[in-house]
């Protein structure tokens, strides 16, 4: 498949959308990013790769980090994880408190902020050195030791993270947080602040695309079934309250973040990452969504 040619032509086609949407500003550090950037990179499990534009520029992965947290939590807790977090799509915004109150502090799924805050609590309890161990895992799965947190972004989010603090308090009230709220939120924001490029993200997610290869990175092991199940959750819950639309238009499991990144996988074939900071009203990258929709249309490869 001529992936390079395909993504170059897609980039031209999506130019009319270049000024649509707005970058996230509720995290003040993210408001400083130049919104008019775009990068895309694909890796196949057979070693083919294609990349365009800012594929090597690092950006804030934000909620994409929730996939890494889920991998570690599932490897440590196994199915017991689902006693504290559900695995149903929510149809509500990523930072919503709505279901959390009705469902007595059990988050609908691990990719909501509430679910990820519970995972941060689990990781704080279970990992010997949470900050180091999380980063060690991300570096190992991406095969790159220079990947790091951006502590300014994490601090900037902490200073303005009123909604996430409300979520953490509600979780604590319902006994779904063991550690103190301040440490849990601090660690949650830190995980969101990891910076990676499209090339690094698409390489990292090959580990999820290829569930037949042994998943064993920095002492985190998953079975083939666990990897497939993470992919299932990406399919149903990976795009905020737009997971149905993403499934309909793009048709791949994936995860987006408010930094403008999206990573998606085609099981047993490829992993693709795209980045552009301007977001639509639901929090997904406008150019990223368009690029992936065209990508799966033009390659005519579909899991359906
Ligand atoms: N750190 C962000 C928040 O909690 C992550 C949001 C996202 O990327 O969906 O609001």
Query: Can you give the pLDDT at residue 90?
Result: 87
Tokens 């994490």 found at: 154
pLDDT at residue 93 tops 80: no
Q: Tokens for 287?
A: 């150019």
Is the CB of 192 within 6 Å of ligand 1? yes
Q: Are 215 and 221 in contact (CB under 8 A)?
A: yes
Ligand 1 contact, 277 CB (< 6 A):
no
Write out pLDDT tens, residues 34-82. Answer: 999 999 999 999 999 999 999 999 999 999 999 999 999 999 999 999 9
The CATH fold of domain 3-299: Beta-lactamase (3.40.710)
Does this model's pTM top 0.95? My answer is yes
The predicted-structure confidence for 188-244, as pLDDT tens digits, reads as follows 999 999 999 999 999 999 999 999 999 999 999 999 999 999 999 999 999 988 999
The pLDDT value given to residue 37: 98
Give the number of the atom of ligand 1 that is nearest the alpha carbon of residue 164. Answer: 4
- Whole-number Å distance, alpha carbon 184 to ligand 1 midpoint, is 15
For the chain, what are the domain ranges? 3-299
pLDDT for 38 equals 98
Q: Does ligand 1 have an atom closer than 6 angstroms to the CB of 190?
A: no
Quote the mean pLDDT of the chain: 96
Q: Whose CA is nearest to atom 7 of ligand 1?
A: 63
How far, in Å, is the centroid of ligand 1 from the Cα of 160? 12
Instruction: Answer whether residue 3 shows pLDDT above 90.
Output: yes
- Name the token pair of 116: 């990820």
Q: Alpha carbon of 26 to those of 29, 104, 253, 258: distances in Å?
A: 9, 27, 27, 10
Q: Report yes or no: 233 and 63 within 8 Å, Cβ to Cβ.
A: no
Residue 164 has pLDDT above 90, yes or no: yes
The alpha carbon dihedral of 291, 296, 89, 172 has a sign of negative
**Confidence category of residue 27, pLDDT binned at 50, 70, 90:** very high
């Amino acid at each position: 498949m001529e992936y390079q040619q395909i993504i170059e032509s897609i980039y031209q086609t999506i130019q009319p959308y270049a000024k649509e949407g707005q970058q996230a500003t509720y995290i003040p550090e993210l408001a400083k990013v130049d919104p008019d950037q775009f990068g895309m990179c694909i890796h196949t499990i057979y070693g083919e790769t294609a990349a365009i534009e800012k594929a090597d520029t690092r950006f804030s992965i934000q909620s994409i980090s929730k996939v890494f947290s889920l991998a570690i939590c599932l490897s440590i807790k196994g199915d017991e994880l689902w006693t504290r977090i559900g695995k149903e799509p929510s149809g509500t915004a990523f930072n919503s408190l709505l279901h959390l109150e009705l469902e007595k502090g059990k988050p609908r799924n691990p990719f909501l902020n509430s679910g990820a805050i519970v995972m941060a609590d689990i990781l704080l309890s279970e990992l010997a050195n949470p900050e180091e161990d999380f980063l060690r895992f991300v570096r190992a799965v991406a095969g790159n030791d220079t990947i790091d947190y951006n502590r300014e972004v994490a601090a900037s989010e902490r200073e303005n993270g009123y909604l996430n603090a409300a979520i953490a308090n509600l979780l604590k009230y319902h006994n779904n947080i063991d550690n103190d709220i301040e440490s849990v939120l601090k660690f949650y924001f830190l995980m969101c602040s990891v910076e990676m490029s499209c090339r690094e993200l698409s390489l990292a997610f090959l580990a999820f695309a290829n569930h037949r290869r042994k998943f064993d990175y920095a002492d985190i092991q998953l079975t083939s079934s666990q990897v497939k199940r993470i992919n299932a959750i990406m399919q149903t819950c990976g795009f905020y309250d737009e997971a149905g639309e993403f499934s309909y238009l793009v048709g791949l499991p994936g995860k987006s973040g408010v930094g403008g990144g999206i990573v998606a996988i085609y099981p047993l074939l490829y992993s693709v990452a795209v980045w552009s900071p301007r977001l639509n009203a639901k929090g997904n990258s406008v150019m990223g969504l368009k690029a992936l929709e065209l990508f799966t249309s033009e390659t005519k490869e579909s899991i359906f």
